[in-house]
Chain A
Amino acid sequence: MLALSVGALVAGAVYLMLDRTFLRVVIGFVLLSHAVNLTLFGSGGLFRREEPLGSGPDPLVTADPLPQAFVLTAIVIAFAITVYLLVLAVTGREKEDEETDA
């Protein structure tokens, strides 16, 4: 299921990135970063999803906190760059994506 979602997200991302409109490229990047974040989640093991709380948590079933920290960091970075990309998208020339060589 996770792998399917990653695949769908990447497919959508590639489709959008191949578009001439810069805004679509940006949205494509949002999708792509979500796909990678899901991959990072998956790297922690899919069947260890118990909460690491309470007394004596069993390390075999509790969730691995490291990938979650990775994802958090990656989300922040991707968000910052996306905002910057959006700024770049609005500072360009009007209708540049209709030109033959923008």
Chain B
Amino acid sequence: MSPTLLPLLVGLPLAAAGTTAMARQGARWVPGVLVTFLSVNVLAALWLVLSTHTGDVLAHGVGLWPGGIAIPFVADTLSALMLLVTSVLSLVCVAFALTSELGTVRLFAPLVLVLTAGVNGALLTADLFNLFVFIEVMLLPSYGLLILARRGEGTLGSVTGSRLYVTFNLFVSTVFLAGVAFVYGSAGTVNLAELAGAAAQSPAVSAATALCLFALGMKAATVPTHGWLARTYPSTSPAVTALFSGLHTKVAIYAIYRVYAMVFEGDQRYLWIGVVVFSATMVVGVLGAVGEDTMRSILAFHMVSQIGYILLGVALFTPAGLAAGIFYLLHHMIVKASLFLSAGAIEVRAGTGRLDRLTGFARREPLLAAAFLMAALSLAGLPPFSGFVAKLTLILAALDAGQVAAAVCAIAVSLVTLLSMLKIWNAVFVSPDPEPGPESRELSSGGPAAPEEAGGTVTVAAEPTRVGVKAALPALALAVITLGLGLGAETLLSVVTVAAEGLIDTAPYVEAVLG
């Protein structure tokens, strides 16, 4: 396999999406094709990581046009790592979706495949305008998935969620596009390699790029603009929430890392803005979570808080800070998806995500409880999970860079995180069995289904059925990965250090793209 094959990572999923879109409802081969393609995607990403983990950069200009004119596809250590984690996440989330009824909905497979193509493209492109296009390619199927997931049950909530999500993302994309226009107008190119260091030479370029970064920051849900995430993510189906949490905001975060490193070359003058905004993101996110009372909305607010941690890495812009940020990013994607999946499995089983309606799951679902506990402790940053390594390296890096206030924020926020994870744990898993609850009696007597906000699957709660090993496995698999990352952190740390070096010294990237 050579760099020439990089565009196939976008092309193949698109082709598969086209093929599966023509399938009839319930065609047996569609899930097979979906899983096969996603597995191939994982293998390809693994190969990319193996071939770039020493700091090599693979690049290919489509059509072999000279560098700067061609449409560039680049894989360096950072994008290869991101590609690996996003592809694993898609595979696991799809495995979860296939166990619930969502996976059987027609058009689910093509939408996920287009989403994969968009994510791959956004991670591999070295061109601001193509980044915009691939983010749109990623968003369009998401709009579909958001609605599809709730077809026929409680559509009102998801229509409201979708409206918010679509209008917000359209607005942000438009702002980003305006930023791209200004970059082209001031620098005469949108190729990231040609833009390397351009911000230092021209204030106009740096203002234009700042507009792009601002839009990406909105997409990543940093604090003044985090409201959309906490509102829309809980409104769709569990599998889709998990998928989005792993992919969407993370692609924006990746783009922030990449663009700031390339165009500004980590200019020290603007870093304080990042430190302030991202520390605020940490604090506001975690405080927002305290006031929520459903599992997924708590998790969504925690996501906002964690995004602050991840972006703190780029705001430090020291080798240690960047490496810690990237490590945190990878760890967070896995843990968050795992939490959303176990919360989702419970919700599918019980028909609600409200903390006061869920009790005693630890005894009935030991597997799921184990997965949730591992991921929750990892999120809060306890050893031996990957969250501990991620937080420790990040806080040490912040202290090294002299950002004591940010480090204090990070520690305080992780205490509050632990607190609200315990809140879910106590309410959902270890509280006594639901016999005394009026709801459960009403349900078991076969009365009319209570007007749960999740709706639809309430009747299941009356039977003593189990979530099933199949639905618990995806969350457990991801939880085991976080344990593995925590114990074998040394290996990953060395790779993310290489990735961080690639961000600080952009010369190999530029050379590979421009040839």
Q: Which residues of A come within 8 Å of B, CB atoms? A: 22, 25, 29, 32-33, 36, 39-40, 42-44, 66-67, 70, 73-74, 77-78, 80-81, 84-85, 88-89, 91-93, 102
B174–A32 contact, CB under 8 A?
Answer: yes
User: What is the interface size of chain B, counting residues whose CB is below 8 A from a CB of the partner?
Assistant: 24
Residue contact A70 to B181, C-beta cutoff 8 Å: yes
Which residues of chain A come closer than 8 Å to B166, judged between CB atoms? 81, 84-85, 88
Question: B174 to A84, Cβ gap below 8 A?
Answer: no
Contacts of A33 in B (CB 8 A): 174
In the complex, B1 has a CB within 8 A of chain A:
no
A40 B177 Cβ-Cβ under 8 A: yes
Cβ–Cβ < 8 Å partners of A84 in chain B: 140, 143, 166
The answer to whether A36 and B133 have CB atoms under 8 Å apart is no
Of chain A, the residue at the smallest CB distance from B169 is: A81
Known A25-B167, A40-B177, A70-B129; judge A91-B155 contact (CB<8 A): yes
| B199 CB to nearest chain A CB (Å) | 17
Instruction: Give chain B interface residues in 146-193, CB to chain A under 8 Å.
Output: 155-156, 159-160, 162-163, 166-167, 170-171, 173-174, 177-178, 180-182, 184-185
Given contacts A29-B171, A43-B184, A81-B170, whether A92 and B163 have CB atoms under 8 Å apart is yes
Distance in Å: Cβ of A40 to nearest Cβ of chain B: 4
Shortest distance from the beta carbon of A33 to any chain B beta carbon, whole Å: 6
A88 touches B163 (CB 8 A): yes
B350 to chain A, nearest CB (A): 27
Is the pair B174, A36 in contact by a Cβ cutoff of 8 Å?
yes
Taking a contact as CB atoms under 8 Å apart, the answer to whether B140 and A80 are in contact is yes
- B56 contacts chain A at the CB level, 8 A cutoff: no
How many A-B contacts if CB must be within 8 Å? 70
Q: Do B170 and A74 have beta carbons less than 8 Å apart? A: no
Find chain A residues with CB under 8 A from B177 CB: 36, 40, 74
Q: Is the CB of A70 within 8 A of B180?
A: yes
Which residues of B come within 8 Å of A, CB atoms? 129, 133, 136, 140, 143, 155-156, 159-160, 162-163, 166-167, 170-171, 173-174, 177-178, 180-182, 184-185
10 contacts across the A-B interface (CB closer than 8 A): A29-B167, A29-B171, A36-B177, A40-B180, A43-B181, A66-B184, A85-B167, A88-B162, A88-B163, A93-B156
9 tightest CB-CB pairs across the interface, nearest first?
A: A43-B185, A40-B181, A43-B184, A39-B181, A43-B181, A36-B178, A77-B136, A36-B177, A81-B170
Chain A facing B: main interface SS = helix
Extra 4 A-B pairs, beta carbons < 8 Å, given A29-B171, A73-B133, A81-B136: A36-B177, A77-B136, A84-B166, A92-B163
CB-defined contacts of B129 to chain A, threshold 8 Å: 70, 73
Q: Which residue of A has the minimal Cβ distance to B136?
A: A77
Q: How far is the CA of A47 from the CA of B156 in the complex (A)?
A: 51
Specify which chain B residues have a CB less than 8 angstroms from the CB of A70 in the assembled complex: 129, 180-181, 184
Compute how far the CA of A67 lies from the CA of B171 in the bound complex, rounded to whole angstroms: 20
Enumerate chain B residues within 8 angstroms of A92, measured Cβ to Cβ: 156, 159-160, 163
CB distance from A37 to the nearest CB of B (A): 8
- Distance (whole angstroms) from the CB of A96 to the closest CB of chain B: 9
Q: Are B184 and A67 in touch, CB under 8 angstroms?
A: yes
CB neighbours of B171 from chain A (8 A): 29, 32
CA distance A47 to B42 in the complex (A): 49
Please state if B133 and A77 are interface contacts (CB–CB under 8 Å). Answer: yes
Output the least CB separation between B115 and chain A (Å): 15
In the bound complex, residues from chain B placing their C-beta under 8 Å from that of A91 are: 155, 159
When chains A and B are docked, how far (Å) is the Cα of A84 from the Cα of B174? 16
| Nearest CB of chain A from residue B306's CB, rounded to whole Å | 29
Q: Are A39 and B182 in contact (CB under 8 A)?
A: yes
B174 CB to nearest A CB, Å: 5
In the bound complex, residues from chain B placing their C-beta under 8 Å from that of A22 are 163
Whole-angstrom CA separation of A80 from B170 in the bound complex: 11
Among B129, B136, B162, B174, which residue has the most Cβ atoms of chain A within 10 A? Answer: B174
CB contact between B140 and one of A39, A81, A85 (< 8 Å): that residue: A81
Residues of B within 8 A of A66 (CB): 184
**B343 vs chain A, min Cβ distance (A):** 26
A36 touches B181 (CB 8 A): yes
Bound-complex Cα distance A43 to B181 (A): 6
From A39, A77, A80, A102, residue with most partner B Cβ within 10 Å: A77
From A66, A81, A93, residue with most partner B Cβ within 10 Å: A81
Q: Which residues of B contact A81 (CB under 8 A)?
A: 136, 140, 143, 166, 170
Smallest beta-carbon distance A28→chain B, Å: 9
Contacts of B185 in A (CB 8 A): 39, 42-44
Q: When chains A and B are docked, how far (Å) is the Cα of A43 from the Cα of B166? A: 27
Return B14 CB to nearest CB of chain A, in Å: 15
Residues of A close to B184: CB separation below 8 A:
40, 43-44, 66-67, 70
Chain B, residue nearest A41 (CB)? B181
User: Within 8 Å CB of B180, what residues of A?
Assistant: 40, 70
Q: Which residue of A lies closest to B155 (CB)?
A: A91
CB distance from A30 to the nearest CB of B (A): 10
Residue in chain B with minimal CB distance to A85: B166
